Structures are given as C-alpha cells and as structure tokens.
C-alpha cells in the first residue's frame, strides 16, 4: 500500500503537467473513438447484412431493372427458402435535404426474408391489406414526429408525380446496426400507377433478396440462380448481401482507410506526448532513484514507480475521454445532415479499442524511463545535477 501511495504522489507532484497530459490522453481517446465511430457508421449496412441472404440484381448494373416474372423461377430453385423484391423509389419528402431510403417492396414476403424489422401481427396485417400504406422505421418517425395514420406525401423524381401514403405501422430494428430510418410501401401500388402513366416501365423491379436454407450452400445457390437467366436479355448477378453492401463502399474505401490511419496516428502522437512527460519525470528523479537503490529498493520497485505513474495518467485520461466521446458522438449525430448516417453509435469494440489504446500508451511510455533508471549506476545518479 505504501508503494502505491508513493506512485500516486509521484504522479501528482507536478499537478499542471500531469493535468495537461491527462487532458491530452482524454482528447486522444475521444478523437480516436469518434473516428472509429464514423468508420462503424460507414459500414453499418455491411455489418447489418443477413448471413443467409443473397441479392440478385441485373448483371450489367444495379441501376437496370429485372422482370418481375423472375420471382417464381427464383423461388423454385433448390436451396431457396424465401424471396422478396424491392424497387428504389427516390422522391422528395418536404425538401431535398431530408434524405432517407424510400423503397417499394412486397409486404407479403418482406418479413419472411427480413426478420430484422420487428413489428406486431396487427401492423403486418394493416400494412399488407392497405394498398397505399407504408411502413416506416422508429428513427424516421421520431425525426419527423410521425405516427400511425398520418399521411406522407412524396414528390417523385425517378417516378414523377405526387404520391401519398398512409402510415400503417412503425417498425423497430432487431439489432442496433439495422437501419431504422427507412420507408417501405407496396410495389404493386407503384406498378399499377406505372401501367397507367408509363407502361414501358411497368412490370419491373430493382432487385430480389433471397434467403437461403443453408449458409454453406450460398455460393452454389447464387450460381444456380444466375444460370437460370444466362444468355437472357436481363442476365443476373447474385451475391451475398454483405458483398452487395460492400460494393457500395468500394468507391469510398480510400476515405475509410484514411480515417482508420488518422485515428491510429492520433494515438501515436499522444504516446509521444506521454513518453516525453515520463522521460522528463524520470530525468528529474535520477538522484531520487539512486538514493532509493542505496536504501535497498530493488529494480522491481523502480519499475512499479515509473510504470505505475504512467498507468495512472493513462487510466485517468481514458476515464475522462470516454464520457467526452459519448457527448461528442451525440453532438455530431445532431449536427450532421439527417439521414447521412442512419446508424451512428459507439460500438462496444470502439470502447475496447480506445481504452486499450490508452493503456497500451501508458505501458510503452514507461519503457524508456525504466530502462534508463535501471541502467544508471548509483554513483552516476547521485552525481546527476539535472
């Protein structure tokens, strides 16, 4: 206990220097955690991808449609558990700055393939039975203060005109990384209107989502589905939902990598700062360490004094940095454009990385001062003038 008291007094001997170093560690923990949170939010779609789901899209490009008639042939493929389909709608709600996903879907099969969207049986019934109804996520409902029964009016861009939908229900995300800011409505409602206004675009969907009976069979299942439509006017490309989501991130892969590198550079910088603090402290106490050796203190005692001081600074810095991180993530979430990151939260792994990095900095910062203190002879230490 006496040794720990000595360590604590050493750490607080220069209060201003110690306080500034602790603040530096705290700021580094906050910055590291915030950048890692941005990376987590960027890849939330990949993390939320279903392990047993395939996406079947047009082979040339995602922007080209597929015939609606493909659904029955895909459903009949050996290994398919369920099939649903989607169509990106676009449109404008209130104004162009209010972005969120607006997607036409098949209510009958949506929840079979996507149990990620949690609703009660009454909501399923209401959404399925009313042709002009829509289903929205709880985050979207909170953002616009929407409730069941309200009317959502969209101005179409990809599909021109004014579109009105009645909110039939609000879904909750099953997991934290599931997007709760989306809007789903009936594909048949879209298709019926296209048959009247633009028949050439009717009868098409954007992509199919296929749930597989076996995860191990997914590569072969994708090949079997694509083989069905080989050499047809609309060939398909089937891939895991994770691979499909990653395709959208490839264009921004350099940015994500840069953010990763920057976050670790910040840790490196604060490590240099803490190393400098510990070297200064050890240099000032050279004569003290020589006296301690003379009094019979062993090498392990000096290791405890130096490493303990570094660890106290690191631990206090991490303890201060984590609450600041939580506050800054909340501020950034409120300040950033709505819908830019549908999922924005500090993942448990980010907490572990940030705290672990702070502790690692404490350990590394103590290595050189310990080495110097142990190598210095008692005579040289007593002669040291500072």
pLDDT digits (tens, 9 = 90+) for 28-83: 889 888 888 887 777 665 555 567 899 999 998 878 999 999 999 999 999 999 99
Helices 348-375 and 253-284: angle between axes, nearest 10 degrees: 30
pLDDT of residue 155: 92
Q: Please, what is the end-to-end C-alpha distance for the chain in angstroms? A: 30
d(CA 285, CA 230): 77
Nearest to 116 by CA among 56, 180, 55: 180
Provide the 3-class DSSP secondary structure of residue 297. Answer: coil
- pLDDT at residue 253 above 70? no
335 pLDDT band, cuts 50/70/90, is low
Average pLDDT (249-267) is 74
d(CA 280, CA 369): 9
The percent of residues in the chain predicted with pLDDT above 90, rounded, is 35
d(CA 13, CA 204): 74
CB-based contact 44:341 (threshold 8 Å):
yes
In the block, which residue shows the tokens 């002879």?
Answer: 377
- pLDDT at residue 148 above 90? yes
Longest dimension (CA), the chain: 98
CB-based contact 179:103 (threshold 8 Å):
no
- pLDDT at residue 189 above 60? yes
CB-based contact 113:184 (threshold 8 Å):
no
pLDDT of residue 306: 82
- pLDDT digit string, tens, across residues 163-181: 999 999 999 988 877 888 8
Which tokens go with 54?
């395939």
Q: Answer yes or no: pTM beyond 0.75.
A: no
Cβ atoms within 10 Å of 261's Cβ, excluding its own: 11
CB-based contact 212:56 (threshold 8 Å):
no
Cβ atoms within 10 Å of 129's Cβ, excluding its own: 10
Nearest to 311 by CA among 349, 277, 350, 266: 277
pLDDT of residue 337: 57
Please report, for residues 89, 146, 149, 179, 181, the alpha-carbon distance to residue 166 in angstroms, rounded to integers and kept in the order given.
Answer: 16, 11, 6, 21, 17
* Torsion angle, alpha carbons of 269, 273, 276, 282, to 10: -130
117-118 vs 161-173, strand pairing mode: antiparallel
The percent of residues in the chain predicted with pLDDT above 70, rounded, is 91
161-173 vs 66-67, strand pairing mode: unpaired
Q: Rounded to an integer, what is the distance from CA 154 to the centroid of its chain?
A: 29
- pLDDT at residue 378 above 70? yes
Indicate the DSSP class of residue 198.
-
pLDDT of residue 282: 74
pLDDT of residue 377: 82
- pLDDT at residue 260 above 80? no
252 pLDDT band, cuts 50/70/90, is low
In the block, which residue shows the tokens 């996507």?
Answer: 114
Of residues 50 and 288, more confidently modeled:
288
- pLDDT at residue 128 above 80? yes
- pLDDT at residue 24 above 70? yes
What is the pLDDT of the chain when averaged over all its residues?
A: 85
d(CA 314, CA 362): 5
- pLDDT at residue 134 above 60? yes
150 pLDDT band, cuts 50/70/90, is very high
- pLDDT at residue 259 above 90? no
Average pLDDT (220-226) is 93
207-211, 250-254, 291-295: lowest mean pLDDT where?
250-254
């Amino acid at each position: 206990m006496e040794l720990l008291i000595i360590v604590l007094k050493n750490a607080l001997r220069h209060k201003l220097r110690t306080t500034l170093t602790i603040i530096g560690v705290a700021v580094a923990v906050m910055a590291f955690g915030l950048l890692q949170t941005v990376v987590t939010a960027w890849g939330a779609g990949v993390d939320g991808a279903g392990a047993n789901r395939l996406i079947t899209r047009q082979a040339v490009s995602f922007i080209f449609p597929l015939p609606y008639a493909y659904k029955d042939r895909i459903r009949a493929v050996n290994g398919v558990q369920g099939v649903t389909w989607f169509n990106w709608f676009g449109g404008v709600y209130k104004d162009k700055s209010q972005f969120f996903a607006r997607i036409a879907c098949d209510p009958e099969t949506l929840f079979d393939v996507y149990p990620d969207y949690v609703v009660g049986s009454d909501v399923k019934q209401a959404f399925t039975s009313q042709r002009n109804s829509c289903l929205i996520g709880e985050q979207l409902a909170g953002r616009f203060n929407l409730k069941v029964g309200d009317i959502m009016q969209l101005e179409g861009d990809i599909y021109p005109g004014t579109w009105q939908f009645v909110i039939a229900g609000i879904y909750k995300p099953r997991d934290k990384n599931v997007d709760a800011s989306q809007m789903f409505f009936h594909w048949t409602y879209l298709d019926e209107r296209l048959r009247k206004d633009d028949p050439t675009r009717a009868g098409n969907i954007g992509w199919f989502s296929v749930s597989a009976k076996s995860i191990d069979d997914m590569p072969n299942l994708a090949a079997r589905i694509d083989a069905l439509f080989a050499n047809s006017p609309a060939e398909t490309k089937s891939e895991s939902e994770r691979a499909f989501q990653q395709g959208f991130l490839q264009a921004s892969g350099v940015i994500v990598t840069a953010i990763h590198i920057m976050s670790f550079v910040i840790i490196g910088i604060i490590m240099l700062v803490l190393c400098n603090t510990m070297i200064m402290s050890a240099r000032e106490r050279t004569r003290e360490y020589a006296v301690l050796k003379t009094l019979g203190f062993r090498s392990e005692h000096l290791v405890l004094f130096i490493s303990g001081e570094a660890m106290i600074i690191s631990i206090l810095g991490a303890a201060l940095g984590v609450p600041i991180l939580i506050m800054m993530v909340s501020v950034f979430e409120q300040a950033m454009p709505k819908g830019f990151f549908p999922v924005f939260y500090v993942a448990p792994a980010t907490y572990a990385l940030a705290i672990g990095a702070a502790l690692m900095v404490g350990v590394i910062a103590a290595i050189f001062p310990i080495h110097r203190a142990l190598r210095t002879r008692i005579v040289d230490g007593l002669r040291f003038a500072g």
